[in-house]
Structures are given as structure tokens and as C-alpha cells.
């Protein structure tokens, strides 16, 4: 009996040891999701500007957006290059919306410019309230993008935002799922206040995710709140919808697609994409980057196959145009692919990066399909953000920073060389012309 107990204990201790070894080999114990932040309303004057954020809008112009409770507050931005001295001003447009029992404040959008590149401007909204400071992006490479999707408004969002704030970046790229308002409209307001310190100082370029839809059959069309609040430069890029657009900054052509807009070959988005790709001049913008919400290359069990239809319709266009990099969100984890096309590793395909791990309330997607597909080079379910430094026409440095508790820890990094420098583009020139010009 004693022997049996001893044997049993030994097995038990061995088993425990194995568990401990497994945990250390895995070397990182993933933290739990965090609660939604409680962001109480301040009792400021109703004309006080809130939720200030900026976005790029054509060459040398920036759109300043904010909200006031007061419907008669002026839509004016005063700005200049020294604090407190505003030698320029611009007037803009306003909108508002109602949603079941909720009515939004007055939403102001004002275009300012022309602005100098790579310069700091000081500005004030609606002739009152605090002074904000923004930095315009550089005219030429290098440029640094911060990338984080599926943000939400939890303790992890706050931690991700504080890490992004410490990085020296020029433009924030967000591949969908902003506020996680999920029909509760005042959550759009609390999100606007949470991101204001960052979004008022660097352009935030966003595209939509499923949490932006908020449609109610027979009652409300989709994207009412998103389109009113997060107006992007779609008109400036020849698009008829805020759900897809493009912009150029410092040698990079960025295309924001809509996973929740029609994308088949008869759709407006498809025709617009073809035309936009034909306009890309790789001498002027050697890098071509695309963002949308639902990933095409995803080896996580979450949202498996959801991007397949869009991929089938649009991947040949992106391939023909030699897109360098694709960012997606949706899956709450990080994954980076090798250059890939049609599910095969292909030196002329795009690098696909899923970065839906900004910190929302739904938590992480931790289960992966095994074995890891050949095209998948790195995958990990942790919260975090990415930084893309495009150094020159041939080299970019990508890094992913995991929120290790509350410290950002660089966990994946890689030098990416552009397709411009690879010989792929000249080889594909005819193919591109054929694919893109076929009606
Ligand atoms: C581009 O940057 C990379 C990395 O810093 C460097 O090795 C390369 O020489 C640069 N190319 C040019 C043309 O400056």
C-alpha cells in the first residue's frame, strides 16, 4: 500500500513538474481580458469641444473632427505654428444623427491647410476650449505608422494606447472595430474621449469592422454613427462611400477597403478599387499597403473562412497590382504571413498581418489550427500593437509589441523588402494591365 501511495505521489509530482515545464517553455502566461473602462461625463460647457480627432485629407490638408453638445457652437478651427497664436482659420461642415432614443451632439468636420509637411501646428476648435497640437506627416520617406485594430475601451485598450503614445509615429492605421459601442450610442462618445489625446495629435486613418455596422432591420441603415463621426477622405479619393477610400502619404499608397461593403466584381467597391490601383505610380509611391477588417490569411480557429469570398473576388487584383502589405483585424490575436498568394507562399504576393489585438472587451482568440500552415510565419494570441517604419523605397521594418502586463515588449520583428525592389512588378506589368483593364 505504502509503495502504491509513493508511486502515486511520484507520478503526481512528475505530472506537476511537466505542467510547470510546459508553462515555462511557453514562457508567457497570457493575462485575462480587462473590464470596460468607466468614463464619466465631465460637466463642461455644452459648447466645449470633445472627442477631437484628425485625419489626412488630400495633400497637405487635415480634417479636424469634434463634437459639441451645443447645436449652435461654431464649426471653426483656428491654427498656427506657435502656441496661442492662430494666424489661420477654417470653417467646416456639421452633421448629427439620431438612433432610437439617442441624439448625437453636433459633429463638426473642418478641413485645414495647406499645411507644411513634418511640422507641428497648434489649434483650437470652435473658438474655445483647450489648445491641441498636431504633427503633419513627412513629405518623403521615412515614415512610421502605428497599427492596432479591434480597440474597444477596456483596461487593455488603455495600455495599448499608452504604448502607441510612447512610439514616435506619424499616422495611426486602424483596420476596423473602434468603439465596440454595439448599439449603445453613448459608448461612441466615451471612445471618442478615450482616444482624443492620441487622435487629436496624429492622423487616425480607419476602416470599418463588424462592430461599426449597428443596423436594425427596417429601422436603421448600417454605419450611421461610424460614418457621421469618423469621416474619412473618400470623396478626395474618388470613392462614393466612406467605407472604402485611399490616400497617399510620404511615398506610400494606402488603400482602405470595406469588408462590410459589397465587394463582388459587379460592385462599386470593386470598380473603384480597380481604378485606384491603376492610378498608383510606384515611382511616386513605391509602397502599396491595403487594410480591411476580416483577414484572408488566418490560421486561428476564430472567424475561420469569413474572409474567403472577399479574398476570392479581390486577391487577384491586389496580386496583379503588387500590393506589399495587407493589414486586417477581426481575430483577436496577432499573425504574420510570409509573402503569399492563392494560399501558397509566393515571393510576389503580399505579407498579410492580422492585428486585431488592440484590447477589446471580448478577450483573446487563443486557439490555432495545427499544423501551422506554410504561409504562416508567426502567430500569437496576446494584446499589443504594431509599428511599421518604412525606411526607404526598398526597406521597411515591422515590429509587433505585446502588452506584457503593462509594458510593451517587442515580440516579433522583421525587415520587409518592397516588391519594387524584387523584380516582381516588371514581370507582372502585362498581367496587371490585363487584369485591371478587363471590364
Ligand atoms: C534602405 O534602407 C536599408 C536599411 O536601412 C539600407 O540597407 C539600404 O541601403 C537603403 N537603400 C537605399 C537605396 O538607401
Mean pLDDT is lowest, of 17-31, 76-90, 154-168, 350-364, for: 17-31
The pLDDT tens digits of the residues spanning 372-390 come to: 999 999 999 999 999 999 9
- CA nearest 144: which of 171, 164, 166? 171
Which residue owns the Cα nearest ligand 1 atom 3?
395
196 ligand 1 Cβ < 6 A: no
Amino acid 6: pLDDT: 43
To the nearest whole number, what is the mean pLDDT of the chain? 91
Tell me if 50-135 shares its fold with 143-437: no
Between 20 and 7, name the one with better pLDDT.
7
Q: How confident is the model at residue 437 (pLDDT cuts 50, 70, 90)?
A: low
CATH number among 3.40.1190.20, 2.40.40.20, 3.60.21.10, 3.40.50.2300, domain 143-437? 3.60.21.10
Q: Which of 394, 397, 413, 415 to mutate to test the pocket of ligand 1 (most atoms within 8 A of CB)?
A: 394
Amino acid 13: pLDDT: 37
Residue with cell 504561409: 375
CA of 21 from ligand 1 middle (Å) equals 43
Which residues are known catalytic residues?
Answer: 303
CA of 311 from ligand 1 middle (Å) equals 33
Which residue owns the Cα nearest ligand 1 atom 12?
392
The pLDDT tens digits of the residues spanning 224-253 come to: 999 999 999 999 999 999 999 999 999 999
What is the pLDDT averaged over residues 336-340?
98
DSSP assignment of 237-278: GT-S-TTSEEEEETTEEEEE--TTS--STTSHHHHHHHHHHH
Question: Which grid coordinates are listed for 258?
Answer: 470595406
According to CATH, the topology of domain 50-135 is: Immunoglobulin-like (2.60.40)
CA of 326 from ligand 1 middle (Å) equals 22
State which ligand 1 atom lies nearest to the alpha carbon of 415.
Answer: 4
Flag whether pLDDT at 125 surpasses 80.
Answer: yes
17 ligand 1 Cβ < 6 A: no
What phi and psi values does residue 111 have, to the nearest 5 degrees? -90, 130
127 ligand 1 Cβ < 6 A: no
CA of 8 from ligand 1 middle (Å) equals 62
Percent of the chain residues topping a pLDDT of 90: 82
What is the pLDDT averaged over residues 109-124?
98
Q: Whole-angstrom Cα distance, residue 41 to residue 261? A: 34
Segments making up each domain of the chain, as ranges: 50-135, 143-437
Amino acid 439: pLDDT: 58
391 ligand 1 Cβ < 6 A: yes
Amino acid 47: pLDDT: 86
Q: Write down the pTM of the prediction.
A: 0.91
Flag whether pLDDT at 24 surpasses 50.
Answer: no
Which residue owns the Cα nearest ligand 1 atom 4?
395
What is the pLDDT averaged over residues 393-400?
98
Amino acid 375: pLDDT: 98
Amino acid 8: pLDDT: 41
State which ligand 1 atom lies nearest to the alpha carbon of 397.
Answer: 4
Amino acid 200: pLDDT: 98
CA of 310 from ligand 1 middle (Å) equals 35
392 ligand 1 Cβ < 6 A: yes
Amino acid 25: pLDDT: 35
Mean pLDDT is lowest, of 51-65, 71-85, 391-405, 424-438, for: 424-438
Amino acid 427: pLDDT: 64
State which ligand 1 atom lies nearest to the alpha carbon of 392.
Answer: 1
The pLDDT tens digits of the residues spanning 255-304 come to: 999 999 999 999 999 999 999 999 999 999 999 999 999 999 999 999 99
Q: Which of 391, 414, 417, 418 to mutate to test the pocket of ligand 1 (most atoms within 8 A of CB)?
A: 391
Burial 211-230 (b: 16+ CB within 10 A, else e): bbbbeeeeebebbbbbbbbb
Amino acid 43: pLDDT: 59
Which residue owns the Cα nearest ligand 1 atom 7?
395
Q: Which of 143, 392, 397 to mutate to test the pocket of ligand 1 (most atoms within 8 A of CB)?
A: 392
Q: Whole-angstrom Cα distance, residue 88 to residue 60? A: 15
- In 57-92, DSSP assigns E strands to 62-68, 76-80, 88-91
Q: Whole-angstrom Cα distance, residue 56 to residue 201? A: 12
Q: Whole-angstrom Cα distance, residue 368 to residue 379? A: 9
Amino acid 431: pLDDT: 62
Amino acid at each position: 500500500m505504502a509503495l502504491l501511495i509513493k508511486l502515486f505521489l511520484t507520478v503526481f509530482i512528475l505530472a506537476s513538474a511537466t505542467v510547470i515545464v510546459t508553462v515555462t517553455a511557453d514562457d508567457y502566461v497570457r493575462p485575462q481580458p480587462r473590464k470596460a473602462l468607466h468614463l464619466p461625463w465631465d460637466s463642461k460647457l455644452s459648447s466645449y469641444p470633445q472627442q477631437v480627432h484628425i485625419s489626412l485629407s488630400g495633400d497637405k490638408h487635415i480634417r479636424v473632427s469634434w463634437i459639441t453638445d451645443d447645436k449652435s457652437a461654431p464649426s471653426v478651427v483656428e491654427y498656427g505654428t506657435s502656441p496661442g497664436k492662430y494666424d489661420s482659420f477654417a470653417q467646416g461642415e456639421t452633421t448629427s444623427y439620431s438612433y432610437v432614443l439617442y441624439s448625437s451632439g453636433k459633429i463638426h468636420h473642418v478641413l485645414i491647410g495647406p499645411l507644411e509637411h513634418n511640422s507641428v501646428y497648434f489649434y483650437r476648435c470652435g473658438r474655445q476650449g483647450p489648445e491641441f497640437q498636431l504633427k503633419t506627416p513627412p513629405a518623403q520617406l521615412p515614415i512610421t505608422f502605428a497599427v492596432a485594430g479591434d480597440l474597444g475601451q477596456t483596461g487593455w485598450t488603455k495600455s495599448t494606447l499608452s504604448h502607441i503614445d510612447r512610439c514616435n509615429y506619424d499616422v495611426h492605421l486602424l483596420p476596423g472595430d473602434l468603439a465596440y459601442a454595439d448599439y449603445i450610442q453613448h459608448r461612441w462618445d466615451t471612445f471618442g474621449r478615450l482616444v482624443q489625446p492620441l487622435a487629436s495629435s496624429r492622423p487616425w486613418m480607419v476602416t470599418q469592422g463588424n462592430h461599426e455596422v449597428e443596423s436594425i432591420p427596417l429601422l436603421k441603415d448600417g454605419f450611421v454613427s461610424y460614418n457621421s463621426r469618423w469621416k474619412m477622405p473618400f470623396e478626395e479619393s474618388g470613392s462614393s462611400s466612406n467605407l472604402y477610400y485611399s490616400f497617399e502619404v510620404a511615398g506610400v499608397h494606402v488603400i482602405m477597403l470595406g469588408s462590410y461593403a459589397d465587394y463582388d466584381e459587379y460592385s462599386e467597391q470593386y470598380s473603384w478599387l480597380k481604378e485606384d490601383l491603376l492610378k498608383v505610380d510606384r515611382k511616386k509611391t513605391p509602397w502599396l499597403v491595403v487594410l480591411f477588417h476580416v483577414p484572408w490569411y488566418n490560421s486561428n480557429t476564430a472567424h475561420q473562412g469569413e474572409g474567403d469570398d472577399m479574398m476570392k473576388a479581390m486577391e487577384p487584383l491586389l496580386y496583379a497590382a503588387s500590393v506589399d502589405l495587407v493589414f486586417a483585424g477581426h481575430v483577436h490575436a496577432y499573425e504574420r504571413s510570409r509573402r503569399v498568394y492563392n494560399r501558397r507562399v509566393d515571393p510576389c504576393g503580399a505579407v498579410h498581418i492580422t492585428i486585431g489585438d488592440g484590447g477589446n472587451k471580448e478577450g483573446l482568440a487563443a486557439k490555432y489550427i495545427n499544423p501551422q500552415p506554410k504561409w504562416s510565419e508567426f502567430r500569437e494570441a496576446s494584446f499589443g500593437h504594431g509599428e511599421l517604419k518604412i525606411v526607404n523605397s526598398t526597406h521597411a521594418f515591422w515590429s509587433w509589441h505585446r502588452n506584457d502586463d503593462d509594458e510593451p515588449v517587442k515580440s516579433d520583428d522583421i525587415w520587409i523588402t518592397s516588391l519594387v525592389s524584387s523584380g516582381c512588378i516588371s514581370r507582372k506589368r502585362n498581367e496587371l494591365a490585363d487584369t485591371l483593364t478587363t471590364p
